[in-house]
Amino acid sequence: MEFAASRALGGHPDLKIRTGPCGFHLFDRRTGINVLLEDVTVQPEYWSSAPRFVSIALTNRCDLACSYCYAPKNSAFLDSRVLLPWLRDLDLNGCLGVGFGGGEPTLHPDFTHICEFVRQQTRMAVTFTTHSHRIDSRLAGALKGNVHFIRVSVDGIGMTYEAMRGRRFDSLRAHLEITRSIAPIGINFVVNATTFTDLDDAILLAMEFGAKEFLLLPQQPVQGRRGIDSQTLTSVRSWVLNYSGEVPLTISEIGSDHMPVCPLLMKEIGSHAFVHISADGVAKLSSYSADGIAIGESGILAAVHLLRRTLEEKS
């Protein structure tokens, strides 16, 4: 089905068709346009076997030390010689996009080569999440044309940002200017009792730098630290309900309970929609999941299928 769909597109390098319970999903990675032909019924045996989107922690290394970070504190990283065949398999089996993270993905020694490989050798969209402080004109030049979207983690404005991330806010602004020259950007914002009061100013920052999306990430409990408290979460819900800003607002699936969200593909959920790959090569339902399936010699699709069966048996 994937190869037939690819032929139907005439070999266009940026267009892709995914098949699933919602019908035919057409995606243009260059423009970000999605078209769903939901009147077309696709039998389960012809559904794309890869998740719609896969996030990959290239490395756990990071040159910041944010107390609320969920990433394991070790130096694990994925060998590109192992990773590139995984990326090719994901592409051939219907994955629409990969998002590189960490840790700080720009610390991976083959980061620019990996992004170039995905852009040139697959039809998947390339995104990555970064604190942006390592992106200079040299790195920007190497990435331009090979990345479709960049998410910049901000998590606070001014002194709040500096206290939580240990870097000057003026430095962030300078690197944001360089980062947005590579590809469209979005702002990631971990919200908790400390950062909540900065939300309005963060939206103004997103507008100033032309962000295409503002992603709210209610802080999750990790490594013995508490997540967002119930009072702050109630305030966040009220803020979301009253939001009327120009930047499109989104929220992470984990933490979106009782939020006014609108899932676009109701029938394509769980591991059919999303899988996270950790820096030590484990397929998980999310980056916060404690359990997963190690990716062995059988490859990434075998691990994803086993993860899917395991989750189905538990439900």
The CATH class for the domain spanning 49-314 reads alpha beta
Residues listed for the chain: 315
pTM for the whole structure = 0.93
Q: What is the DSSP letter of 270?
A: G
pLDDT in tens, the chain (315 residues): 444 444 445 567 899 999 999 999 999 999 999 999 999 899 999 999 999 999 999 999 999 988 778 777 788 899 999 999 999 999 999 999 999 999 999 999 999 999 999 999 999 999 999 999 999 999 999 999 999 999 999 999 999 999 999 999 999 999 999 999 999 999 999 999 999 999 999 999 999 999 999 999 999 887 677 889 999 999 999 999 999 999 999 998 877 777 777 777 888 988 999 999 999 999 999 988 888 999 999 999 999 999 999 988 887
Q: For strand 15-20 and strand 249-251, is the pairing parallel, antiparallel, or unpaired?
A: unpaired
Distance CA 279, CA 20 (A): 28
Q: How far is CA 48 from CA 26, 64, 90, 276, 312, in A?
A: 13, 38, 10, 17, 18
The angle, 0 to 180 degrees and rounded to 10, between the axes of the packed helices 111-121 and 80-92 is 20
Give the Å distances, CA to CA, from 169 to 95, 134, 162.
Answer: 36, 14, 6
Q: Determine contact, residues 214/187, Cβ cutoff 8 Å.
A: yes
Element (H, E) at 100: strand 97-101
Residues 6+ apart with CB under 8 A from 249: 213, 214, 216, 240, 243
For the chain, which residues make up each domain, given as ranges? 1-48, 49-314
Residue 11, pLDDT score = 64
- Which tokens belong to 276? 């996270």
Confidence at residue 3, expressed as pLDDT on a 0 to 100 scale: 43
The strand pair at 53-57 and 274-277 is best described as parallel
Asked if 185 and 150 touch (Cβ cutoff 8 Å), the reply is: yes
Q: Which residues pair with 149 in a beta bridge?
A: 127
Tokens of 43: 């039998």
Contact of 212 with 245, CB cutoff 8 Å: no
**What is the longest distance spanned by two Cα atoms in the chain?**
54
